[in-house]
C-alpha cells in the first residue's frame, strides 16, 4: 500500500472517530443552553459594596447570559420580601429570572436545570456564601446543597453539586 493511501485512510479514520465522539457526547455537560437562550429579563439585585456579588454577576454574564442586568441597592430586604425568600435561605444577592428567584452563589448548572425543568416552585436557594462557589474565593469543601423553595414557603433539598 502506498504512503498516500495509508495517510488518506488514517485521516478518514480520525475524522470518523472525531465525528462519532462529538455526535454522542452530552451537550449538558458544559452547556447552559436554557440560560444562554433565555430571552426575558434576568436581574441580579445586590449591595453596591459587595465584591463577591460583582464576581458572581460577571460569572453569570460571561458563562450564562450576557444580557443579565445588575442593580445595586442599599438594602435587599424589600426584594427578598417581595419574592418571599425565607430568612433561613438568604444570601448576599438575589437573582430574578422569569417567575423564579435564585438566591445566592448558585452554579449555572442549577439555574439551567431550573429553566429546563420549570418546576412549580418559587425559586432555588443556596444559603450563606459557600467557599468555592461561583463568586466566592477559596476551595470547595463539600457538596453545594441547593434548596427548592415551594409555593407555601417550605423548602426541600433540590440538588447537590
Does 17 map to a domain?
no
CATH number assigned to the domain comprising residue 82: 3.40.30
Q: What is the pTM of this model?
A: 0.77
Does 8 map to a domain?
no
pLDDT tens digits, 66-82: 889 999 999 999 999 99
- Which residue is associated with the grid cell 447552559? 32
pLDDT < 50 stretches in the chain: 10-12, 14-16, 18-30
Does 65 map to a domain?
yes
Domain that holds residue 33: 26-160
Cα of first residue to Cα of last residue in the chain, in angstroms, is: 53
Does 12 map to a domain?
no
- H helix intervals, 65-157: 77-82, 108-117
Q: Quote the pLDDT of residue 125.
A: 97
Under a CB-based contact definition with an 8 Å cutoff, are residues 52 and 136 in contact? yes
Does 153 map to a domain?
yes
Q: Quote the pLDDT of residue 20.
A: 40
- State the total domains in the chain: 1
Q: Which three cell numbers stand for residue 81?
A: 420580601
The CA dihedral of 108, 136, 63, 17, to the nearest 10 degrees, is -80
Does 76 map to a domain?
yes
Q: Quote the pLDDT of residue 9.
A: 57
- Distant-in-sequence, close-in-space partners of 54: CB < 8 Å, separation ≥ 6: 46, 70, 135
Amino acid at each position: 500500500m502506498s504512503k498516500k493511501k495509508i495517510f488518506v485512510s488514517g485521516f478518514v479514520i480520525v475524522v470518523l472517530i472525531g465525528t462519532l465522539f462529538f455526535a454522542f457526547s452530552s451537550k449538558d455537560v458544559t452547556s447552559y443552553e436554557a440560560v444562554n437562550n433565555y430571552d426575558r429579563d434576568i436581574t441580579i439585585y445586590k449591595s453596591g459594596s459587595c465584591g463577591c456579588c460583582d464576581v458572581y454577576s460577571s460569572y453569570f454574564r460571561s458563562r450564562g447570559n450576557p444580557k443579565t442586568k445588575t442593580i445595586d441597592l442599599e438594602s435587599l430586604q424589600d426584594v427578598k420580601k417581595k419574592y418571599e425568600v425565607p430568612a433561613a435561605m438568604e444570601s448576599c444577592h438575589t437573582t430574578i429570572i422569569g417567575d423564579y428567584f435564585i438566591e445566592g452563589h448558585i452554579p449555572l448548572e442549577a439555574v439551567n436545570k431550573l429553566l429546563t425543568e420549570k418546576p412549580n416552585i418559587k425559586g432555588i436557594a443556596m444559603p450563606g456564601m459557600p467557599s468555592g462557589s461561583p463568586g466566592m474565593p477559596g476551595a470547595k469543601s463539600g457538596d453545594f446543597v441547593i434548596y427548592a423553595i415551594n409555593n407555601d414557603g417550605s423548602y426541600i433539598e433540590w440538588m447537590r453539586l
